[in-house]
Chain A
Amino acid sequence: MNTNAHFAQSFPVAADVRRRTSGSKSRALPPPHVGGYRVWAFFRHALTFAVGLPALLVALPLIGAEHGGAPHGGGARPAMSAPRPAMVDRSSHGSIRHVETHVVEHPVEVRHEPEHPVETHREGTGRHEGFVHHDVDVDIHRRHFWNDFAFGRRFAVLPFGCLTLQIGGVPYYYDDGIYYQPAEGGYQEVYPPVGAAVPEAPDGAIAIDAGGQTYYYAGGAFYLQQPDGTYAVAPTPIGVVVPELPPGAIQVAVKGTVAYQFNGIYYEPVFVNGVTQYETFMP
């Protein structure tokens, strides 16, 4: 019986080691009994470590990058652990030349979960299912509850779930971006009153940075978050550009120029990144 073959069957790994190491037997190593062998062997091992270890340290991150780690020497972090890329708004979509220019953070839109019901709850106000995307070239339009605001429109009953507010001793009712006051025969829609504080910004409110503050713009109102976490209607900042007009803004002429008016504030159309937006001003 061939004991080596038997051993190879029983311990294939050891046998494999044997096969791979057997070739070294033919190498011309100095016999162990030769004087100076230990010094020579020490020198060889030291050389191997000196070359191999730095090379290994250099190779690992590069190999890691090749396999999905952070590009260009960003370490061997696996790609899956990297944070998801931010949603960006390229004004240069469709251009290779400008692919890395004008990349800005996408406008932040407040979105409530679950979303406000879409059903029509008022006569004569059709609700549209759709979506707003503030990428200028994209033809998506999302409507929000407050998109249907119309100053002075009257209703016999308030929407279900309205909040009751007292501002300067005056009663208001509020539902997701729209304010109501008692009127003859029921209630009417009114402009957002400065000072009104609501638990959260309306669904679809857009974050706008101006004057070192972040406003949340919805339904023609600019909300500021308060220390207690509520969102209060602030006076409209002047010189701020908004991507869309307040609902129900009226076209007017100011010094021969077209403009829009809402709640005493004027909005001038202006091309921003080639797209029509509106800048607040006071004539």
Chain B
Amino acid sequence: MNKNNPVAAIFPTHTAAANRIINPTTHWVRPAFAAAALAGLMALSVSAADKKPVVDPRADELLKRMGDYLGHAKFFSVSAEVWQDIRLSSGQRIQAGRTVELQVRRPNHLRAEVHSPRRNRELVYDGNAITLLNRIQNFYGTIHTSGSLDEAMDVASERFGIPMPLEDFIRSDPHKDLTQKTTSGADIGPVSVIGVACEHLAFTQDNIDWQVWIENGARPVPRKFVITYKDEADSPQYTAIFSNWDFATELPDFVFHFEPPAGASKIKVQEMKTENQAHKTEEK
């Protein structure tokens, strides 16, 4: 019997437990710091692992299969319906739509047409020049360049700020370009896109998430493509739904020959401004 502690006399175990709590350095601090050390090491290991993309091998395999199929195709045509989230100045969110028609003949021919009720634009690359046409206002402009499709698209995008519609699927190695900055990827599973059985893949990057739905079977083409811009207010999305994939109809030279429409005016194509550089223009 503990004469000095009446509680201990009644609840000896309680007293022992209380003593352990009162003497923290001997009992609970050690496990706490051990746990913190363990958490620190785990976090460090997770951080180190973060530097490597975590892509489900199945998702990567399917994406590679799609990329190889498109990249090795000598020529193809495809249509896409594109929807883009827009936030109006009022704050209301809407979707703006347009259709894109692509005709690709590797290694250096491309025709892209973008239609919508208010816009009608065309971009043609024939191996020697990229020509832009604004059909509504009947203006066209030319950028003199040569090389492969990849090189021409780089010139258009990086020097003139001209986006090639759905460029990622036109380039020679779509898998490589699509996965350059991927941080994770997963095979979400099978799903149907407009009646076509597809496999749904989802990937992440620092600023965006993106998804692609690849047709099952012998023709692994993309059927749907979504980019979510995480770095923009309200995380708007860009959605493309593909149709009319055609790998059989040949695309002769005349498809990529640009003939200005009657009454069309040739205008300058302005090169992108860089800091400390006055803007340049591709002369008419």
When the two chains form the complex, which single residue of A14, A258, A273, A279 contacts B265, counting CB atoms closer than 8 Å? A258
Are A85's CB and B270's CB within 8 A?
A: no
CB distance from B128 to the nearest CB of A (A): 18
Q: In chain B, what residue has the closest Cβ to A15? A: B17
Chain A 59-78 residues near chain B, CB threshold 8 A:
59, 62-63, 66, 71
> Quick check: is B68 within 8 A (CB to CB) of the other chain?
no
> Quick check: is B55 within 8 A (CB to CB) of the other chain?
no
Chain A 32-68 residues near chain B, CB threshold 8 A:
41, 44-45, 48-49, 51-59, 62-63, 66
Chain A contact surface mostly: mixed
When the two chains form the complex, which single residue of B88, B160, B168 contacts A131, counting CB atoms closer than 8 Å? B88
Q: 1/0 per residue B1-45: CB within 8 Å of A?
A: 000000000110110111011000111111011101111111110
> Quick check: is B240 within 8 A (CB to CB) of the other chain?
yes
CB distance from A24 to the nearest CB of B (A): 7
Q: 1/0 per residue B77-101: CB within 8 Å of A?
A: 0000010101111100010111000
Whether A93 touches B238, Cβ cut-off 8 Å, given contacts A21-B17, A58-B44, A111-B89, is yes
For the complex, give the distance between the alpha carbons of A94 and B116 in Å: 16
Chain B 137-177 residues near chain A, CB threshold 8 A:
137, 139, 141, 156-158, 160-168, 171, 177
For the complex, give the distance between the alpha carbons of A71 and B279 in Å: 36
For the complex, give the distance between the alpha carbons of A99 and B168 in Å: 11
Known: A95-B157, A140-B88. 20 other contacts (CB 8 A): A3-B10, A14-B14, A21-B20, A44-B30, A48-B29, A53-B33, A59-B39, A59-B42, A62-B43, A62-B47, A87-B232, A94-B238, A97-B178, A97-B180, A99-B181, A137-B114, A139-B96, A139-B97, A139-B118, A270-B270
A interface list, Cβ under 8 A from B: 3-4, 7, 11, 14, 17-18, 21, 24, 41, 44-45, 48-49, 51-59, 62-63, 66, 71, 84-88, 90-102, 109, 111, 131-133, 135, 137-142, 241, 257-258, 268-274, 276-277, 279
What are 21 contact pairs spanning A and B, CB under 8 A?
Answer: A14-B17, A48-B37, A49-B33, A55-B37, A56-B39, A56-B40, A57-B40, A62-B43, A86-B233, A94-B84, A94-B238, A95-B157, A96-B205, A97-B171, A98-B167, A101-B158, A133-B96, A137-B163, A269-B139, A274-B123, A274-B160
Those 7 A-B pairs whose CB atoms lie nearest each other, nearest first: A55-B40, A52-B33, A274-B162, A59-B40, A273-B161, A56-B36, A62-B43
